[in-house]
Amino acid sequence: MAFSYDTAAELFPAAIRKKRRTGVAYRRFSKAAEAVRYAIEELPADCLNGAYLQVDEARFDHKGIRTLYDSEDYPLQRRAS
């Protein structure tokens, strides 16, 4: 089954015990592509490591999210490195 970047997605950042308020919390996205972009480009590294993305019944950990972002099928423009 092919992954659809147009499907709604939920992003669950890792909880950081050291910091009470990181300003990063659970978010819903209308498109998985937006969730992937946010996770890779906006989340602090310590929140991404341990985060997971839920798309339909599939779950992706931080490595899976990175794979989706690096895929040739990723539909959004990537931030210049």
Long-range contact set of residues 51-55: C-beta below 8 Å, sequence gap at least 24 = 51/11, 51/12, 51/13, 51/14, 52/11, 52/12, 53/9, 53/10, 53/11, 53/12, 54/9, 54/10, 54/11, 54/12, 55/3, 55/4, 55/7, 55/8, 55/9, 55/10
- Give the model's pLDDT for residue 1: 57
**What would the pLDDT profile of 17-32 be if each residue is shown by its tens digit?**
555 555 668 999 999 9
Q: How confident is the model at residue 69 (pLDDT cuts 50, 70, 90)?
A: very high
Per domain, the residue ranges of the chain are 9-14+25-70
- Give the model's pLDDT for residue 34: 98
